[in-house]
Structure 1
Amino acid sequence: MYDQSKLAELIRFSGADAGATVIDVYPGAGDWTRLFSDVVGPEGRVYSFVPGEVAHFKNDPVGLMRTLAKEPGRENVEVISADLVALPPAARPADVLWMHLFYHDLHTALMQAKGATAADFNRTVYERLKPGGYYVIVDHATAAGEGTTNAQSLHRIDPATVRKEVEAAGFLLDAESTVLANKRDPHSNKVFDPSIKGETDRFAYRFLKP
């Protein structure tokens, strides 16, 4: 995770606040689910969404989130799992859908194994958000002009490609944050390479559903 100042900036950037409904897509170890649970409070709701395409992983991502949801004070967390583009609708339209270091995976064989595409997913997100809701994407940047070429091999994606794909679903770019930018990143290494792990050049986009 990031230091406290960056965490605070990213939470602010997300637009989530007390009483909000947040969907955390592919929550991993649950760090963001916990943060959003604290932010939205007892009147809010956090849906920790584990795509069915990764539910079979050995670390049991669904089980991890169900354990998290049983922690004291996590009554506002609900775990859901389904195929990526079958993202179940929340009981009320979401205020925020959050994707942290995962959008590039929409362009990998694993996430497309059941026929899902980035275009399909972005349209589903549009349906799940309320008007005025935010679709927030944080991801590892690849070199400008590389598009999705390195999504599978390096786990990176061109920010311009993300913007083009998301806007095609009807969203408007509302804000961009450079809090995670790193100009020293050569963009040529896999994000897990020890030389750059945890320090990749990352972009953050906040899209608005009109």
Structure 2
Amino acid sequence: MYDQSKLSELIRFALVDAGSIVIDVYPGDGDWTRLFSDIVGPEGQVTSFVPAEVADFKNDPVGNMQTLAKEPGRENVQAVSADLVAMAEATRPADVVWLHLFYHDLHTALIQKKGATAADFNRAVYERLKPGGFYVIVDHAAAAGTGLSDTQSLHRIDPASVRKEVEAAGFVLDAESTILANKEDAHSMKVFDPSIKGQTDRFAFRFMKL
């Protein structure tokens, strides 16, 4: 996770507030789910959505989120797992759909193994968001002009490609943030490489459903 100042800025950027309905897609260890749970309070809800495409991982991501939802004070959290493209049917209408370091995976063999595409998922997000709702994406940046070529090998994606794909689903870019930018990142290393892990150049987009 990030230092407190960056966490606070990202939460403000995501426009998550008391009473918000949030879907945290591919929640990992659940850190963002917990943060959002604290913010939205008893009048809000956080759905920790584990794509079925990764549900069989050895670390039991679905079980972990079910356990998280049973923690004291997490009555506003629910764990849900379904195929990515079935997210709209498996969740309730949301104010915010949050993707942290996951969008690039929509272009990998692992996530596409059930036939899902980025276009399919973006349409599912559009369907699930309330009018005026926000689709917030934070991801590892690839070099400008590389498009989708580094998604599988480096786990990076060209921000311009993300914007093009999401806007094609009907969204409008509402804001972008450079708070996680790192000009020292040459964009040539895999994001897990020890020399850059945790310090990759990252972009943040907030799209709106009109």
Distance 1:138 1:150 in 2: 16
1:23 corresponds to:
23
Aligned sequence identity (%): 80
Shift of 1:185: 0.1
Aligned to 1:170: 170
How far apart are residue 89 of structure 1 and its match? 3.9
Q: Is this contact kept in 1: 2:95–2:133, CA < 8 A?
A: yes
Matching residue of 1:188: 188
- Determine the C-alpha separation between the residues in 2 that align with 1:199 and 1:159: 17
SS of aligned partner of 1:110: coil
Q: Report if aligned partners of 2:88, 2:127 keep a CA contact under 8 Å in 1.
A: no
* Equivalent residue number for residue 67 of structure 2: 67
What amino acid maps onto 1:166 in structure 2? V
Residues in 2 aligned to 1:116 and 1:142: alpha-carbon distance in whole angstroms = 22
Structure 1 contact 134–206 (Cα < 8 Å) conserved: yes
Matched position secondary structure for 1:112 = coil
Aligned-partner SS, 2:144: coil
How far apart in 1 are the matches of 2:130 and 2:147?
29
Aligned to 2:83: 83
In the superposition, the TM-score normalised over structure 1's length comes to 0.98
Point out where structure 1 has 5 or more consecutive residues left out of the alignment: none
Change (3 A) 1:159 1:179: same
> Structure 1 segments of 4 or more deviating over 2 A?
88-92
- Measured in 1, the distance between the counterparts of 2:63 and 2:8 equals 28
- 2:95 match: 95
Which residue number corresponds to residue 120 of structure 1?
Answer: 120
How far, CA to CA, are the matches of 1:88 and 1:154 in structure 2? Answer: 29
Instruction: Flag the 1:89–1:19 CA change in 2: closer, same or farther, 3 A.
Output: farther
Q: Distance in 2 between matches of 1:48 and 1:208?
A: 21
Task: Tell me the SS of whatever aligns to 1:6.
Answer: helix
CA gap 1:173/1:4 in 2 versus in 1, 3 angstroms: same
Give a deviation string over 1:154-182, Cα, whole Å, max 9, x none: 00000000000000000000000100000
Asked whether 1:9 is paired with 2:9, we answer yes
Q: Secondary structure, in 3 states, of the residue corresponding to 2:181?
A: coil
* RMSD, matched Cα: 0.9
Deviation, structure 1 residue 90: 6.4
Q: How far apart in 1 are the matches of 2:144 and 2:50?
A: 30
Structure 1 residue 93: Cα displacement: 1.6
What is the rounded CA distance, in whole Å, between the counterparts of 1:95 and 1:27 in structure 2? 17
CA contact (8 A) 1:13 1:206 kept: yes
Q: Distance in 2 between matches of 1:83 and 1:90?
A: 9
Task: Tell me the amino acid that sits aligned with residue 161 of structure 2.
Answer: T
When normalised by structure 2's length, the TM-score is 0.98
